[in-house]
Structures are given as C-alpha cells and as structure tokens.
Amino acid sequence: MKKVILSLLGAAVLFTTAAPSISASEVNLESEVNQVLGTPYLWGGTTSIGFDCSGFILYVLKKFNVEDLPRTSQSQAKVGTPVAKENLRSGDLVFFNTLGTGISHAGIYLGDDQFAHSSSSKGVRISKLADTYYKDRYVTARRVVDQKSYLSMVN
C-alpha cells in the first residue's frame, strides 16, 4: 500500500511541476544574442531571417528600448559617447575598418573581450576583440545605452 501511495505522489509531483519560464527581468543581452546565434548574414537585413552587422545591432538593442539608432554602422559610430577600449561594458558598440575605407563593420560588446556581430561569411556569431583580425581593424567604441537599459541587459 505504501508503494502505491508513494508512486501516486511521485506521479503527481512529476505532472504538476511547471517547466521553468523566463520572466521579462531574466531576459538579458546574452540570452537575446543566443536566440539569434547562427542567423545568416543578409545585406540590409534587420530581422531574424537575416542580419547585416548594423541591422543585428538594431534588432538586439530594440529589445532593450534603444530605438533611435541610425541604420548604418558608419552612422552608428557617430552617436552616443566614445568609450576607451579598456572601459568597455556590455552593450557598448564596437566598430571596425574591415574594408580599408573607414568603418565598415560593427558589433555589440558582451564583456570578457567578446562581442556579438553578424559576419558576412558566418552570420551571427561571437568573436574576441583580441583575435588578430579584429584587433588589427578595431577603430572605436560608443556607448549608446542608458543606465536603465544597461541594467536590464546585465541582470
């Protein structure tokens, strides 16, 4: 009889335990980036069907109520506040000269020397600023996220 009762109790717990859910406060920059990792590159793309580098930035930062950014990486590099490389924090935008003609690529800094971006050859991915390719082509960084949005990104 005890075995039957314990089996019934175990089944009740198994079937009534809710699956974990993510509340709005648990959504952060890392989880937003992870949702679109691997999305293909699409020139002019601003949706999860495909992104170019600046479209990826617009898509992700919009999740944190940052909606007034320009469309291109060249224009994005002119807004916000300049940030020294050693003072980067999550959500800062990082800019690169990949074509030899000025700013031509951008990403979102994630912390720990990593940034997320939409690469023309590999789609949305995470790379390191210290990688030789990006280290040699790094131009500047800008802080475009206010304190409230920043806190929602990292909490």
Whether 105 is a known active-site residue: answer yes
Whether 103 is a known active-site residue: answer no
Q: How many Å from the N-terminal Cα to the C-terminal Cα in the chain?
A: 49
Considering 55, 83, 105, 114, which one is annotated as catalytic? 105
Considering 51, 64, 69, 117, which one is annotated as catalytic? 117
Nearest to residue 155, comparing CAs of 44, 64, 76, 88? Answer: 64
Considering 45, 50, 51, 53, which one is annotated as catalytic? 53
Whether 122 is a known active-site residue: answer no
Q: Cite the active site residues.
A: 53, 105, 117
